[in-house]
Structure 1
Amino acid sequence: MQLRPVGYPVLLMRKFFGYILSPIFYLLFGVIITVFHPIQWLCLKLGGYQAHKKCVDTLNCCLVACYYVLGNTVSFINKQQLPTDRPILFVANHQSMYDIPPLIFFLRKYHGKFISKIELAKGIPSISFNLRHGGAANIDRKDPKQSIAEILKLANNMKAKNWSAFIFPEGTRAKTGKVKPFNVGGIAVILKKATNVLVVPVAINHSWEMVRYGFFPLNTFTRMSWEVLTPIEPQGLSAEEVVAQTEARIKEKIVLN
């Protein structure tokens, strides 16, 4: 792990601007998800899956653009030649809710679906609609049978429709950026069911800094990055070995303050 010290006066300045810019960010973010909610419904009803997906891709492009209102920047690095003729399981560390829009937008050609908490599938304009109707696995952490059934359903769709999936195996957000131990469960289910899946680690850096102070103020002038790492071919490896390799590769790329 590398260290990148940040001076206290700089932190204070960024927090100060957060008080000024966060209301603008939340206003724009709220307008975008509200406007896109009925558009998603129309696209799904009139154009089916493909139209709905294009709408969701555009939605997440707009959400990523909101980050720049705070002076934050997004660097998405993908030097890998990933196949489009087989499903991919993108495995990433999880630092904040703002990890998600860049993954959806920049990896849009792989038709990635999220394994998400069932609580997020209701009450949030646009986002909940997409989780309910876009092919995500919405799992109830208090109900293991339901969770496994949802992940199996997603794995079947990955195999049948050549969809990909995103999973955060830490299970919860790392509030300081330090990677928590990876859980094997969900990955093991997908590896067993979608036998032709390719596992691709993604290292996310500094998105936790955007929510350093919680909901308000959001932090400013943060250089966030997403990096797609070398794929792991799971054939011949146990789920535990795949998860261990994925976790190790991601940890090598994480930069802590």
Structure 2
Amino acid sequence: MDKILGWLLLPFFAISFLGSLVVFEVIQRIAYFGFGYKAHKNTVDILQLCIMNSLRLGGTRFKTLRSAQKVPTDRPIIIISNHQSMFDIPSIIWLFRKNHAKFVAKKELGKGIPSISFNLKHGGSVLIDRKDREQATQAIENLGKYIEEHNRAACIFPEGTRSRDGMLKPFKTTGIKTLLQHSPSALVIPVAISGSWELLKYKLKPIPFGVKYKTQILPPIEPANYSADEIVQKAEEQIRMALGQENTEI
């Protein structure tokens, strides 16, 4: 039934989603080249809301649970999140819009995708070549320095690739350690995303109706109290527990 309803609502999603990407490709360029970073950032935030509303037209329901501890805006933030679909990025940008979230993304996303590629190239995120370890490390170092200087947020998906069935993959530590080294005053915020993988279970043919997309912003980890390895372990443990996968073998 979710597939039948998905097909019925697919035209509404497609028109809204693709239309938003095309329209905001133009708006971003005007904002960035004509008015600078702040105007561009505001347009990017609005784009994320439009993308999420496109999913709502297809029956997706969003739920956000937040830790009792507020996310500060007066220090850099390192967001450590699991990764289930391409729609994780709009959700994180929107939820952390006050922190100006930037991403570590594969270089392939930096070209050919309306709105998305332009934002990744010009909005402060970094594109890495996963086959070029030296380039990737340097890009992540630059991102760490950037958020340290501007009190902004860097989001990293330490699984390395998205989970196609929702099961958390073991975390890779190098990227997180590099960010921590070059943003020593950053606070680490683990984020657990569930349900996102279901949006792509039919490979957009169609998006199933009624997906429950939940984001949990978990209690922060103060890096000063732990080693880099302990921080990664604690973040992974928190996310596994939030996903109900704490007994999954690492």
TM bucket (normalised to shorter chain) is over 0.9
2:130 maps to what in 1?
141
Structure 2 counterparts to residues 103-142 of structure 1, below 5 A = 103-142=92-131
Cα distance in 2 between the residues matched to 1:58 and 1:213: 27
1:198 maps to what in 2?
187
1:47 maps to what in 2?
35
Mapped contact 1:64–1:101 kept (Cα < 8 A): yes
1:67 maps to what in 2?
55
Cα distance in 1 between the residues matched to 2:213 and 2:47: 20
The CA RMSD over aligned residues, in Å, is 1.1
Cα distance in 2 between the residues matched to 1:91 and 1:33: 26
Mapped contact 2:73–2:152 kept (Cα < 8 A): no
Cα distance in 1 between the residues matched to 2:103 and 2:135: 16
1:27 maps to what in 2?
15
Cα distance in 2 between the residues matched to 1:129 and 1:41: 8
* Corresponding letter in the other structure for 2:218: L
Residue deviations 1:198-242, cap 9 Å, x none? 100001011111111223121110111101000001114222111
- Return the offset for 1:22: 2.2
1:253 maps to what in 2?
242
* Corresponding letter in the other structure for 1:135: G
- Alignment: residue pair count: 244
1:4 maps to what in 2?
none
Cα distance in 2 between the residues matched to 1:27 and 1:111: 28
Cα distance in 2 between the residues matched to 1:215 and 1:166: 25
Mapped contact 1:205–1:255 kept (Cα < 8 A): no
Mapped contact 1:18–1:219 kept (Cα < 8 A): yes
* Corresponding letter in the other structure for 1:53: K
Cα distance in 2 between the residues matched to 1:255 and 1:67: 25
2:248 maps to what in 1?
none
Confirm whether residue 165 of structure 1 aligns to residue 154 of structure 2: yes
TM-score w.r.t. the length of structure 1 is 0.92
2:222 maps to what in 1?
233
Mapped contact 1:60–1:105 kept (Cα < 8 A): yes
Cα distance in 1 between the residues matched to 2:139 and 2:94: 23
- Return the offset for 1:185: 0.7
TM-score w.r.t. the length of structure 2 is 0.95
Structure 2 counterparts to residues 179-218 of structure 1, below 5 A = 179-218=168-207
Cα distance in 2 between the residues matched to 1:241 and 1:137: 25
Q: Percent identity?
A: 43
- Return the offset for 1:168: 0.6
- Return the offset for 1:255: 4.7
Mapped contact 1:73–1:222 kept (Cα < 8 A): yes
Structure 2 counterparts to residues 60-99 of structure 1, below 5 A = 60-79=48-67, 80-99=69-88
* Corresponding letter in the other structure for 1:60: Q
Residue deviations 1:129-171, cap 9 Å, x none? 0000000011000111110111111111111111111111001
* Corresponding letter in the other structure for 1:58: I
Please state whether the residue corresponding to 1:151 is helix, strand or coil: helix
Cα distance in 2 between the residues matched to 1:70 and 1:55: 23
Mapped contact 2:82–2:193 kept (Cα < 8 A): yes
